[in-house]
């Protein structure tokens, strides 16, 4: 099972001031996902919107949207699910209804940010 995380959606699910340090919020999420992946053995990838920058998160594939603009990361997530050999083995983490609909139509499972945070922080 691959956990494919809509990074900015998960970050934005908690109003903790992340917008004051977007890159720091991205690093913190990726590092928390890396710690969880190491503990659990889960395969994890996260896709962020915005300008690419260095994030050290061993065991997690960190990617940035391939283009700028609306739904850029969402489109990349959909493309990854579509390219998967078995979309039923992909869990997309998002609360974005349109993205959820798009990946569910391809056979992926959708999990909300709260459920992921419980696993990661639990």
Model confidence pLDDT, tens digit, residues 49-84 = 999 999 999 999 999 999 999 899 999 999 999 999
With CA atoms as reference, report the closest residue to 94 among 82, 106, 105, 109.
Answer: 109
- The whole-angstrom separation of Cα 91 and Cα 108 is 6
**pTM for this prediction:** 0.96
Structure confidence at residue 122 (pLDDT): 82
The arrangement of secondary structure in 2-121, i.e. its CATH architecture, is 3-Layer(aba) Sandwich (3.40)
Structure confidence at residue 98 (pLDDT): 97
Any idea where the domains of the chain sit in the sequence?
2-121
93: helix, strand or coil: strand
With CA atoms as reference, report the closest residue to 90 among 118, 61, 58, 70.
Answer: 61
Kindly list the averaged pLDDT for each block of 10 residues, start to end, along the chain of length 122. 97 93 97 97 97 96 95 97 98 98 98 96 86
């Amino acid at each position: 099972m691959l956990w494919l995380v809509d990074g900015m959606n998960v970050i934005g699910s908690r109003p903790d001031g992340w917008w004051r340090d977007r890159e720091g919020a991205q690093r913190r999420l990726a590092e928390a996902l890396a710690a969880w992946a190491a503990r659990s053995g889960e395969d994890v990838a996260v896709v962020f919107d915005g300008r690419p920058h260095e994030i050290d998160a061993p065991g997690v594939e960190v990617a940035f949207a391939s283009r700028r603009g609306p739904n850029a990361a969402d489109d990349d997530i959909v493309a990854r699910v579509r390219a998967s050999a078995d979309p039923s083995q992909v869990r997309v983490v998002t609360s974005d209804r349109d993205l959820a609909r798009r990946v569910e139509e391809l056979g992926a499972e959708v999990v909300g940010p709260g459920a992921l945070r419980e696993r990661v922080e639990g």
